[in-house]
């Protein structure tokens, strides 16, 4: 008799850790609920990030560029777990799923990852 598999069905192919990459983002999704009606039930979702995939090679810098409102900041905040839970996908930092990390591990991780926001005058120190 076969055992029932209670694992959730993935809508993407999981990636294996590759040591040449410090960050691997695979099919990342972040949806925000739209509430409506008398009981404020979820009537839909805003798909802020839908299927973003990239690999960041060790020692390299990456810039995420796009139109205003396209999800650049939401992508960065989702990777750093600053917006709560992701809707789907994988975020591997040094081979470890970011969303499986403990709060102490996340504090240590945030010293190694950061977002430089779009306004350079408030984000960057002119002395540097």
Q: Does any domain span residue 26?
A: yes
What pLDDT does residue 6 have? Answer: 59
Q: Give the H or E element holding residue 23.
A: strand 21-36
What pLDDT does residue 1 have? Answer: 47
113 CB-contact burial (10 Å; exposed 0-12 / middle 13-18 / buried 19+)? middle
Q: Is 90:52 a contact under the CB 8 Å cutoff?
A: no
What pLDDT does residue 60 have? Answer: 92
Q: What are phi and psi of 72, to 5 degrees?
A: -60, -55
Total number of domains in the chain: 1
Q: Does any domain span residue 48?
A: yes
What pLDDT does residue 118 have? Answer: 62
Q: Does any domain span residue 6?
A: no
Beta-bridged to residue 50, according to DSSP, are 29
Q: Does any domain span residue 74?
A: yes
Q: Does any domain span residue 29?
A: yes
pTM confidence score: 0.80
Q: Does any domain span residue 73?
A: yes
- Output the six-digit token pair for 125: 């120190």
81 CB-contact burial (10 Å; exposed 0-12 / middle 13-18 / buried 19+)? middle
Other residues' Cβ atoms within 10 Å of the Cβ of residue 66:
9
Domain of 100, CATH number, reads 3.40.50.300
Q: Residue written as tokens 């090679």?
A: 57
Tens of pLDDT along the chain (128 residues) come to 444 555 567 888 899 999 999 999 999 999 999 998 888 899 999 999 999 999 999 999 888 888 988 999 999 999 999 999 999 999 999 999 999 999 999 989 888 888 776 666 665 666 66
Q: Does any domain span residue 83?
A: yes
The range of the structural domain enclosing residue 78 comes to 21-116
Q: Does any domain span residue 14?
A: no
What pLDDT does residue 125 have? Answer: 64
């Amino acid at each position: 008799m076969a055992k029932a598999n209670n694992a959730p069905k993935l809508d993407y192919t999981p990636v294996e850790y590759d040591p040449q990459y410090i960050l691997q983002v695979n099919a990342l999704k972040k949806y925000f609920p739209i509430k409506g009606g008398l009981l404020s039930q979820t009537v839909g979702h805003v798909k802020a990030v839908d299927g973003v995939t990239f690999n960041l090679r060790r020692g390299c810098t990456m810039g995420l560029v796009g139109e205003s409102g396209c999800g650049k900041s939401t992508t960065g905040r989702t990777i750093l777990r600053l917006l709560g839970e992701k809707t789907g996908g994988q975020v591997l930092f040094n081979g470890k799923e970011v969303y499986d990390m403990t709060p102490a591990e996340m504090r240590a991780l945030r010293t190694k990852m950061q977002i430089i926001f779009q306004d350079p005058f408030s984000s960057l120190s002119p002395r540097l």
